[in-house]
Amino acid sequence: MAYFPFYLGLVLVILLLMMLAKKLRIAYPVLLVLAGLFISFIPFVPQLHIDPELIFIIFLPPLLYEAAWAISWKELWRWRRIISSFAFVVVFITALTVAVISNHFIPGFSLALGFLLGGIVSPPDAVSAGAILKFVKIPKRMSSILEGESLLNDASSLIIFRFALIAVATGQFIWQDAALNFGWMLAGGIGIGLLIGLLFMKLHKYLPTDANTDIIFTLITPYVIYIAAEELHSSGVLAVVAGGLFLSNKRYTFLSSSSRLRGSNFWESLSFLLNGIVFMLIGLDLPEIIAGLGSVSILDATLYGLLITVVLIISRLIAAYGALIVTLIARNFIKVADTRNPGLKVPFVLGWSGMRGVVSLAAALSIPVYLPGGAAFPHRDLILFVTFVVILLTLLLQGLSLPYLIRKFNLPDVDQDTSEEEIEAGLRKKMAQLGLEYINGQCPERLKAQPALRQIAAKWRQGEDLEHTNAMTVEVKQVYQEILNRQREWLLEKNSSEAGLNEDLIRKQLQYLDLEEERLGYI
């Protein structure tokens, strides 16, 4: 209770720094980490101690769930091969490389400890990349690949982390058991996520919920999924991702327009705050990490962190160009998402977008202080310090230079021949045509009798929005509601049938329809 004003002030500082970052056009994770580092050395600032057993439960489920709702399933499936290769193959190879290098160069580091460190630092952070990419325009395919990879690589890296943790604790690693456990973590995680997601969908659908209760249900859902999966020894991260993707894809079948609109605002604010707190904690936790280094000097620990950072950057760049080579070869034998040569700039940007952040910090902090036998966990604080250095260096080096590189390369969006404005205009024109067809075909007599309906039809013919429609009768509202339903169905069908159509543009129109439906209650 004594520290409550400090925590409240910390939240205020986070919000102010995020606004400053937006003003300066700097990714807020960079600014928050540096601010946390600065605040941690101010005298009389209380030293934060984060319970490692709670770090995953508090932050990861809602952040992963929100990311799963935001991503496009269509884009995820379209780029499934390269996303899977980065999320699983590249993460494993990166962890293996870190294990070998750390075992060779860091005194007292076994291969198991190296794998543990590799599992912690191997996944790039989606939040950092997303915050940076807001300031620059990149091709849709690249942002889709980065978003999809970040959803799945968290699961694969944490699976590696869990197996390495067992190996360190027990001193042995049985490949047969590991293979079976790995299979269960994947299959069980996906199955549990889908099953609980289906259960919550039924609750939303058949219980007399409103927007407020729907939002509370969505807040509870990721925690229930994560805890259930972890209790059954499968991947909680993968379960939350699977459940989130399932519910996101079905949102128009069980949520009202009011629940969708208010829920979107709620989750955007919650994710914003949680991400801000985590990145601030990265900087604030440094004094405690340094205090636990023991016999290892800060200089040596920093050099180890620099070495691992270089390994991670080089490994990802090699992987990006390796994926390009594999794709160019594979297109001769199988059908790939795109047969064109992306050139050398696109793989470099993908490779350079490897900032580390939230998941790496959470994993490092979750390392137990003591082994099951009561002995201190070997090199725990060194691993924490190296993780901190990796996060800080990648955020500063790659995070600050990435926007410049993207502007310099001027990457073309080869998936879109027409501008977004033209596509949006075409969508709105077709939606207006659907509305006119329904009015003229289904209710011509109402059109004659209802002035508000004639005004709607006139505005659609002229290509105008319906912001100043006269007061509607109950009968006109029913007609307009049916039109909105038909327009929504058409948009969803068009999104699923046209692989190359940017789903963000479809979602923008769907949100417009939700707003129109909400407006009906106030006319």
Digit-coded pLDDT (tens) for 269-285: 898 888 888 888 777 87
Residue 255 pLDDT > 90, yes or no? yes
Q: What pLDDT score was predicted for residue 311?
A: 95
Residue 128 in tokens: 């950092």
Q: What pLDDT score was predicted for residue 409?
A: 83
| Backbone φ and ψ of 368, nearest 5° | -65, 150
| Helices 52-70 + 140-170 axis angle, to 10 | 160
- Cα–Cα distances (Å) from 99 to 96, 102, 116, 304, 392, in that order, read 5, 5, 8, 13, 21
Neighbours of 210 (CB within 10 A): 11
Cα 259 from Cα 214, distance rounded (Å): 6
Cα 139 from Cα 145, distance rounded (Å): 10
Q: Which residue has the higher pLDDT, 97 or 371?
A: 97
DSSP SS3 for 376: strand
Given its phi and psi angles, is residue 110 left (phi above 0), alpha (psi -120 to 50 degrees) or beta?
beta
Cα 471 from Cα 33, distance rounded (Å): 52
**Three state DSSP letters for 7-76:** HHHHHHHHHHHHHHHHHHCCCHHHHHHHHHHHHHCCCCCCCCCCCHHHHHHHHHHHHHHHHHHHCCHHHH
- Total-model pTM: 0.87
pLDDT digits (tens, 9 = 90+) for 492-514: 999 888 877 888 889 999 999 99
Residue ranges matching CATH 1.20.1530.20 in the chain: 4-409
Q: What pLDDT score was predicted for residue 50?
A: 66
pLDDT digits (tens, 9 = 90+) for 83-114: 888 888 888 899 999 999 999 999 988 888 99
Residue 228 pLDDT > 60, yes or no? yes
pLDDT digits (tens, 9 = 90+) for 181-192: 778 888 999 999
Q: What pLDDT score was predicted for residue 232?
A: 92
- The radius of gyration of the chain from alpha carbons, rounded to an integer in Å, stands at 25
Residue 20 in tokens: 């400053």
Q: What pLDDT score was predicted for residue 331?
A: 63
**Mean pLDDT of the residues in the chain:** 83
Q: What pLDDT score was predicted for residue 8?
A: 85
Q: What pLDDT score was predicted for residue 341?
A: 59
Burial class (CB in 10 A: 0-12, 13-18, 19+), 468: exposed
Residue 469 pLDDT > 60, yes or no? no
Calculate what percentage of the chain has a pLDDT beyond 70.
89
Q: What pLDDT score was predicted for residue 398?
A: 87
Residue 100 in tokens: 């070998």
Cα 505 from Cα 421, distance rounded (Å): 9
CB 36 within 8 A of CB 283: yes
Cα 338 from Cα 454, distance rounded (Å): 47
DSSP SS3 for 499: coil
Closest CA to 154 of 238, 234, 229, 76: 238
Q: Which residue has the higher pLDDT, 110 or 133?
A: 110
Closest CA to 504 of 187, 152, 143: 143
Q: Which of 129-133, 242-246, 286-290 has the lowest mean pLDDT?
A: 129-133
Closest CA to 139 of 147, 149, 151: 147
CB 53 within 8 A of CB 366: yes
pLDDT band at 336 (very low <50, low <70, confident <90, very high): low
Cα 419 from Cα 106, distance rounded (Å): 52
Q: Which residue has the higher pLDDT, 324 or 62?
A: 62
Q: What pLDDT score was predicted for residue 128?
A: 72
| Backbone φ and ψ of 252, nearest 5° | -80, -5
Which architecture does CATH list for 4-409? Answer: Up-down Bundle (1.20)
Closest CA to 399 of 358, 357, 359, 360: 357
Highest mean pLDDT among 11-15, 449-453, 457-461: 11-15
- Cα–Cα distances (Å) from 200 to 5, 62, 257, 522, in that order, read 37, 15, 18, 30
Which residues are CB-neighbours of 397 under 8 A, at least 6 positions away?
Answer: 309, 313
Full DSSP string of 258-291: HHHHHHHHHHHHHHHHHHHHHHHHHHHTHHHHHH
State the amino acid at position 113 in one-letter form.
L
Q: What pLDDT score was predicted for residue 467?
A: 56
Q: Which of 39-53, 204-218, 248-262 has the lowest mean pLDDT?
A: 39-53
Residue 179 CA to its chain's centroid (Å): 28
